[in-house]
Chain A
Amino acid sequence: MSLATETITTLRRRLDAGEITSADIIRDVAAAIDAQNPEIGAYLSWDTAAALAESTSSIPGPLSGIPVAIKDNINVTGQPCTCGSRILAENYRAPYDATSITQLRAAGAIPFGRLNMDEFAMGSSTENSALGITRNPRDLSRIPGGSSGGSAAAVASHTAIAALGSDTGGSIRQPAALCGVVGVKPTYGRVSRFGLVAFASSLDQIGTLTQTVEDSALLLNHLCGYDPRDSTSLDTPVPDFTALLGRDIKGLRIGLPKEYFISGIHPAVTAATDAAIKQLESLGAHIQEISLPHTEAGVSTYYVLAPAEASTNLARFDGVRYGHRTASPADLLDHYMSSRAEGFGPEVKRRILLGTYVLSSGYYDAYYLKAQRARTLISRDFDQAFQKVDLIISPTTPSPAHKLGELKNNPLQAYLEDIFTIPANLAGLPAMSVPAGFALEDGKKLPIGLQFIARPLDEATMLSAAHAFEQAAQIR
């Protein structure tokens, strides 16, 4: 049996017992990538020789010798960091490690492989990557979700033990749900954003995609923490997230937002959520209906704020310091305009234009400021809800994975698919998706995710409840 199918937890035990070596794991993962990546397309690049060399000097620690695959927007020294874009695909090599990578290395982990994504994390299907599509391992005719689609597909296809992703409006949780793995977005500010290529700085957060809740908890123990190089990093103690796993959840108050149970949800998603509610009740949790009255404002608020921030963040791609440069520009303005036009794909252009428009003179108050005010209302909804409950649950997505190309020509419809995941980003809350069941389509079992949302910095309660659910439900 390939070691690539195991979890961090089981590999740790076998490494510590001396049964296997880190090099054994890396060779098995590399063999799995070689066999499956031509079909699935989760990886954009991987350097087996470099990882094997690193494995000989891996630092002793809880993650010692464990390879972790990295979304292609997190810088790892000397490796490509394309962000799924032509603009960075030509010759960019990261000159430094992101803090999240430094912290993984300090615990002994080995960054191995670069994972496909929607260009600059803009999208929910990974079809916006300029470097090729990624297919859902459960049904190759369907999307893996996105933007961390490569991360979710790699873990789901057992071509990665675990992966890092980034989540701006659901980009970890949504692909985790559609591929049937665990995906965690911690509280905004918990994990340093230093070295993560910025999309929307007030929403972006690095997190984990793993086979089990325990593996995510283990990784988060090392990823979370204060970083002076990220000006919004939280200087707050990090608990041992694995310590609460296995405790019972009797008496835990869990809220069901009535606004999330809208028409148009796939019947299998409703059925899986209903079954999850029963499962959590049988574990002793008290489920109650709550209201998040401004839920409907989430998508429109997000699609003003995120493009506005993106339009400023992506101004750095000027064809001078790094990235694509047009061949023979007429003048400096043409140098900028042509380099960017040739380097960026359609979704990125659409969002830069949208963001520039809502920030431009005469429209700032009507769109940007209004959206910032609506963001306050969305945050207040959660503040009020968390006075009554300890956790909130909902479906992660309204439907299981769509067919490739199904939403390609309808950006607004694609944006509406993010309705359940966006609010946690707007409010900065920790949230995660756990496998909760399947929809049967064309004879294939398409995964469905259950989302848990917690109070700021209360990842421990969220992980503990998700772990209890995972152990009881045994969704395979």
Chain B
Amino acid sequence: MSSPAIDIQKVATLSRLKLTPDEAVLYQSQLGKILDYMDVLVGYDLDSVEPTAHAVPAQPHLREDEPRPSVERSLMLANAPKSSHDQFQISKVIE
């Protein structure tokens, strides 16, 4: 199961991370080594095993879908890098 060549720029874009050329080289090589270590799993017969997402088979409990008070808007906006008219301000998305 040795890892195939990783297209690090593609992964970086999917990750929304801008990498410098040096970082791209470094992470490409480090990720390859870490994934090669997954070879440890090759010896196990895994196809017949059910996957586990959560160790405790908890049934996630959901609350009723009813409106209720939340954290105050002013408190949430206080942490925003930019806000305007009581809203988060984002970068321009339309031409």
Interface residues of A (CB under 8 A from B): 91-93, 95-96, 187-189, 202, 228, 231-235, 294, 296-297, 299-301, 303-304, 311, 315, 318-325, 329, 331-338, 340-341, 344, 346, 349-350, 352-354, 356-358, 360, 366-367, 369-377, 379, 411-412, 415, 425-429, 456
Contacts and interface: CB of A to CB of B under 8 A. Distances in A.
Contacts of B46: 370, 373-374, 377
B95 to A, nearest CB: 10
Interface of B: 1, 6, 8, 11-19, 23, 27, 30-31, 33-35, 37-38, 40-41, 44, 46-47, 49-56, 58, 60-63, 71-72, 75-76, 78-82, 88, 90-93
A434 to B, nearest CB: 23
Nearest to B77: A321
Given A319-B81, A377-B49, A349 B23 contact: yes
A412 B33 CA distance: 8
A332 B91 contact: yes
B58 to A, nearest CB: 5
Given A349-B17, A373-B49, A373-B51, A320 B80 contact: yes
Nearest to B10: A360
A411 B30 contact: yes
B interface majority secondary structure: loop
A93 B79 contact: yes
Contacts, number: 174
B33 A297 contact: no
A95 B37 contact: no
B66 to A, nearest CB: 13
B61 A228 contact: yes
Contact of A337 (B17, B52, B56, B75): B17
Contacts of B38: 300, 304, 367, 370-371
Contact of B79 (A91, A311, A371, A376): A91
Q: Interface centre among A320, A379, A415, by most B CB within 10 Å?
A: A320
Contacts of B54: 188, 202, 232, 428
Contacts of A354: 31, 34-35
21 contacts: A188-B54, A233-B61, A234-B58, A303-B34, A315-B16, A318-B16, A320-B81, A320-B88, A324-B81, A338-B18, A340-B16, A341-B17, A349-B27, A353-B8, A356-B15, A369-B51, A374-B44, A374-B46, A376-B49, A415-B34, A426-B55
Contacts of A320: 80-81, 88, 90
Contact of B6 (A323, A350, A357, A376): A357
Nearest to A228: B63
A331 B18 CA distance: 13
A340 B49 CA distance: 37
B76 to A, nearest CB: 6
A299 B27 contact: no
Nearest to B4: A363
A332 B93 contact: yes
B88 A337 contact: no
Contact of B51 (A92, A300, A344, A375): A375
A344 B55 CA distance: 29
A412 B31 CA distance: 10
A372 B52 contact: yes
A392 to B, nearest CB: 16
A12 to B, nearest CB: 33
A198 B78 CA distance: 21
Q: Interface centre among B8, B16, B40, B93, by most A CB within 10 Å?
A: B16
Nearest to A323: B81
A331 B91 contact: yes
A336 B31 contact: no
A357 B31 contact: yes
Given A91-B79, A379-B52, A429-B55, 19 more contacts: A92-B79, A232-B60, A297-B40, A300-B38, A315-B16, A319-B81, A321-B88, A323-B79, A329-B91, A332-B92, A340-B15, A340-B18, A353-B27, A370-B46, A373-B49, A373-B51, A377-B49, A425-B55, A428-B55
